């Protein structure tokens, strides 16, 4: 009995020891397996992060390349400035400083010898007001591109915001090397010039609203210094305060010294519009031509090829204003 008791006691110890060993082995196995799974998960996470970084870098480079492509005009020139403004005077070989043109017209209007007249160069600035329109602007752009000529478009904000088509037309204007000016948002004479007197606050609100419409298309770096008042600067009373604010904000307004009269008098066909231009451009060394690309101006679009041909025959160089 004594030996049996000792045997049972030893057997119990052995079983307890075996259980302890098994438990230890299980714990070690869990630790090893857990560590391995954690290592695999960490490796996968690291690879995912690296892949994400590579994708970010690739996308960033792609976006940069895309922006560069978007900033190229129809001649392959990069016309953006160092802030990314696609309507910048910087690096644009066909654009003149709008401040120069403004001064030239003001001096000419006063009967003075304009600065720049002595260079003897015949320069013409084709300008189109009141657009874009889905019906006329595309034909104007087709002709300009076919003739390798550029123009300055004075845009109305509400026309820009009319549809995706009109927004895309504004993009096309810039992409094909044309210049953009601000022609207010509403083009509403009663709002802008109550009692035929300029309301500075209303005009600036309209100018700012059109600027935002353009930024919505081209980004926050877009800007234009070119302003044309609906109806022309000389038409309205009280412009001194408006002019002072324009100068303070580095805006420059230009009217015109030649026109097709496509917005005056009875409707005219293409040939009549061309003849009206010929009458008004006589003697102009530097001519700013007023035309329109809004709805109902299909004859203007038809007249444009003949107008360009005539101006070339007269020795004019085509330039824009920024």
Q: Where are the alpha helices (DSSP H) in 188-297?
A: 189-192, 200-218, 239-248, 270-281
Q: Where are the alpha helices (DSSP H) in 219-297?
A: 239-248, 270-281
129 and 7 both lie in a single domain: no
34 and 99 both lie in a single domain: no
- With bands split at pLDDT 50, 70 and 90, how would you rate the model's confidence at 116? confident
Query: Which of 150, 183, 187, 292 does the annotation list as catalytic?
Result: 292
171 and 208 both lie in a single domain: yes
Question: Using CA atoms, how far apart are residues 157 and 213, in angstroms rounded to an integer?
Answer: 6
Query: Which of 119, 207, 117, 132 lies closest to 215 in space, CA to CA?
Result: 207
State the residue for tokens 């085509």: 318
What are 7-29's pLDDT values in tens digits? 444 445 555 555 666 655 666 55
CATH number at residue 141: 3.20.20.370
260 and 186 both lie in a single domain: yes
How confident is the model at residue 178, as a pLDDT?
A: 98
Query: Which of 73, 96, 129, 255 does the annotation list as catalytic?
Result: 129
The reply to whether 78 falls in a domain is no
The reply to whether 131 falls in a domain is yes
Peptide bond into 170 cis (omega under 30): no
136 and 204 both lie in a single domain: yes
The yes-or-no verdict on residue 45 having pLDDT over 50 is no
Q: Judge whether 292 counts as a catalytic residue.
A: yes
43 and 101 both lie in a single domain: no
The number of distinct structural domains making up the chain is: 2
Domain of 17 in residue numbering reads as 1-70
109 and 245 both lie in a single domain: yes
Domain-terminating residue out of 23, 54, 70 = 70
- With bands split at pLDDT 50, 70 and 90, how would you rate the model's confidence at 41? very low
Q: Judge whether 252 counts as a catalytic residue.
A: no
The reply to whether 81 falls in a domain is no
The reply to whether 76 falls in a domain is no
Do the beta carbons of residue 196 and residue 167 sit within 8 Å?
no
2 and 102 both lie in a single domain: no
Domain-terminating residue out of 53, 70, 87 = 70
The reply to whether 54 falls in a domain is yes
66 and 103 both lie in a single domain: no
The reply to whether 86 falls in a domain is no
The stretch 264-273 carries a mean pLDDT of 97
Lowest-confidence pick of 103-117, 156-170, 225-239: 103-117
The reply to whether 237 falls in a domain is yes
34 and 130 both lie in a single domain: no
52 and 118 both lie in a single domain: no
Lowest-confidence pick of 9-18, 95-104, 264-273, 306-315: 9-18
The reply to whether 112 falls in a domain is yes
What are 186-210's pLDDT values in tens digits? 999 999 999 999 999 999 999 999 9
46 and 133 both lie in a single domain: no
């Amino acid at each position: 009995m004594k030996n049996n008791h000792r045997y049972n006691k030893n057997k119990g110890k052995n079983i307890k020891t075996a259980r302890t060993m098994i438990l230890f082995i299980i714990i070690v196995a869990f630790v090893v397996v857990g560590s391995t799974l954690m290592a695999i998960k960490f490796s996968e996470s690291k690879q995912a992060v690296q892949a994400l970084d590579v994708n970010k870098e690739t996308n960033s480079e792609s976006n940069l390349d895309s922006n560069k492509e978007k900033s190229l005009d129809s001649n392959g020139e990069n016309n953006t400035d160092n802030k990314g403004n696609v309507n910048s005077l910087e690096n644009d070989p066909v654009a003149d400083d709008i401040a120069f043109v403004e001064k030239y017209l003001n001096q000419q209007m006063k009967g003075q010898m304009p600065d720049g007249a002595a260079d003897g160069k015949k320069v013409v600035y084709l300008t189109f007001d009141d657009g874009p329109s889905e019906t006329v602007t595309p034909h104007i752009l087709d002709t300009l591109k076919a003739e390798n000529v550029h123009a300055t478009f004075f845009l109305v904000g509400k026309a820009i915001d009319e549809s995706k088509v009109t927004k895309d037309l504004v993009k096309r204007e810039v992409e094909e090397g044309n210049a953009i000016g601000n022609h207010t948002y509403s083009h509403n004479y009663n709002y802008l010039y109550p009692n035929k007197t300029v309301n500075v606050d209303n005009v600036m609100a309209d100018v700012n609203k059109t600027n935002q419409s353009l930024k919505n298309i081209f980004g926050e770096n877009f800007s234009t210094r070119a302003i044309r008042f609906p109806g022309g600067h000389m038409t309205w009373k009280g412009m001194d305060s408006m002019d002072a604010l324009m100068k303070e904000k580095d805006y420059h307004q230009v009217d015109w010294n030649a026109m097709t009269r496509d917005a005056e008098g009875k409707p005219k066909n293409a040939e009549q519009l061309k003849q009206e231009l010929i009458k008004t451009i006589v003697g102009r060394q530097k001519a700013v031509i007023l035309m329109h690309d809004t709805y109902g101006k299909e004859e203007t679009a038809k007249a444009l090829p003949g107008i360009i041909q005539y101006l070339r025959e007269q020795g004019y160089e085509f330039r824009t204003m920024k």
